[in-house]
């Protein structure tokens, strides 16, 4: 059941999403939902844990341990009628996952990423980030989105995560405190197009014991501070331009060229579906991973023939 953690903080109603555009863009069949009627996962999925631990005792601690990237061996999750067949966890302990994409971004009233891709990405990322069945999820919108792509947060909460228990809040002016995250198994932090605004929030995330998802195409950095101790990637540049060989291409605001984003088949189902290779016309931060413990779940390259220079688009790591 969806609920507000702070009703006064909700600033962007789902009515801002162009419904017809969403329907056109979706490659899967979805049921309509509203903020107060997001269905509970327990009615829609097998609740077995496939032998995985459902405790979240392992956490971020002080953010100094990189842990190990040794996963149990999993078959990539299956897709049934365009969505995940089940939502069982695919990890034995919490992880930190960075998604350098705006999953609900719109251009000309059309979704930039098709809806099938976005929902499968969101569900699969959650399954790889928390070991808890039917996790309690807190979605936090960064206080400083500067009015950019507010539909991204709406779409995330009301469509992409509709099969989960979700609570929504806007980040407080002084940043998140430990008490804001108490009782949640996973926190999904969202800022579609700007860096993380509060260093206090970053420090709180480093102490959080559950799974953490950071989602937005500029979230490999903070506003005046580094987040590499949280993300385990090093920010190089904003990604508004990228090279294919010696040719430089501008990729920004869905006005110029595009990235081609591809999911790693080790973690995402591929089959004959095109949901896990798609074009993306916004900037994607250029980063480099800082440890062998960081797994690259998806990568991006310039969408031109012969281009092979890739950058991370989704990464995660375990902590001990």
CA angle 118, 119, 120 (to 5 degrees): 95
The answer to whether the beta carbons of residues 59 and 79 sit under 8 Å apart is: no
pTM score above 0.85 = no
The answer to whether the beta carbons of residues 185 and 132 sit under 8 Å apart is: yes
Q: What's the chain's average pLDDT? A: 77
Average pLDDT over residues 204-229: 95
The answer to whether the beta carbons of residues 255 and 308 sit under 8 Å apart is: no
CB contact set of 291 (below 8 Å; sequence gap of 6+):
66, 232, 317
Closest by CA to 195, choosing from 220, 178, 212, 214, is 220
User: Pick the residue with more confidence: 296 or 149?
Assistant: 296
| Whether residue 108 has pLDDT greater than 50 | yes
Q: Band of the pLDDT at 152, cuts 50, 70, 90?
A: confident
- Map out the domains of the chain as residue ranges: 3-318
| Whether residue 111 has pLDDT greater than 50 | yes
Q: Band of the pLDDT at 37, cuts 50, 70, 90?
A: very low
Extended strands (E) in the chain:
3-4, 79-80, 83-84, 95-99, 106-107, 110-111, 136-141, 165-170, 186-190, 211-215, 233-237, 241-244, 247-250, 259-263, 277-280, 286-289, 295-302, 311-318
pLDDT at 107: 61
Distance of alpha carbon 99 from alpha carbon 234, whole angstroms: 14
The answer to whether the beta carbons of residues 215 and 104 sit under 8 Å apart is: no
Q: Band of the pLDDT at 220, cuts 50, 70, 90?
A: very high
Q: Band of the pLDDT at 32, cuts 50, 70, 90?
A: very low
Q: Considering the chain, what percentage of its residues have pLDDT values greater than 90? A: 52
Q: How many CA atoms lie within 13 A of 299 on its CB side?
A: 14
Of 25-29, 98-102, 239-243, 273-277, the poorest mean pLDDT is in 25-29
Distance of alpha carbon 115 from alpha carbon 104, whole angstroms: 8
């Amino acid at each position: 059941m969806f609920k507000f953690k702070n009703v006064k903080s909700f600033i962007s109603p789902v009515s801002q999403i162009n419904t017809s555009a969403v329907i056109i863009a979706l490659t899967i069949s979805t049921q309509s939902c509203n903020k107060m009627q997001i269905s509970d996962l327990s009615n829609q999925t097998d609740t077995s844990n496939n032998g995985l631990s459902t405790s979240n005792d392992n956490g971020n601690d002080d953010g100094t341990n990189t842990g190990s990237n040794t996963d149990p061996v999993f078959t990539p999750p299956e897709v049934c009628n365009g969505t995940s067949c089940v939502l069982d966890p695919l990890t034995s302990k919490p992880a930190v996952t960075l998604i350098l994409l705006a999953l609900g971004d719109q251009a000309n009233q059309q979704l930039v990423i098709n809806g099938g891709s976005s929902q499968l990405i969101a569900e699969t990322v959650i399954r790889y980030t928390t070991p808890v069945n039917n996790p309690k999820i807190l979605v936090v919108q960064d206080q400083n989105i500067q009015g950019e792509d507010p539909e991204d947060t709406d779409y995330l909460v009301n469509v992409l995560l509709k099969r989960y228990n979700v609570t929504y809040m806007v980040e407080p002016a002084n940043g998140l405190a430990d008490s804001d995250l108490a009782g949640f198994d996973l926190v999904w932090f969202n800022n579609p197009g700007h860096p993380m605004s509060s260093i206090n929030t970053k420090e709180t995330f480093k102490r959080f014991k559950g799974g953490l998802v950071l989602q937005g195409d500029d979230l490999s950095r903070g506003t005046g501070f580094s987040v590499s101790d949280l993300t385990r990637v090093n920010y190089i540049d904003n990604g508004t331009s990228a090279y294919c060989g010696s040719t430089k291409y501008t990729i920004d605001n869905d006005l110029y060229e595009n990235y081609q984003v591809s999911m790693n088949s080790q973690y995402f189902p591929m089959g004959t579906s095109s949901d896990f290779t798609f074009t993306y016309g916004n900037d994607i931060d250029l980063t480099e991973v800082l440890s062998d413990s960081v797994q690259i779940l998806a990568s991006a390259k310039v969408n031109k023939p012969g281009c092979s220079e890739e950058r991370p688009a989704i990464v995660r790591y375990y902590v001990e």
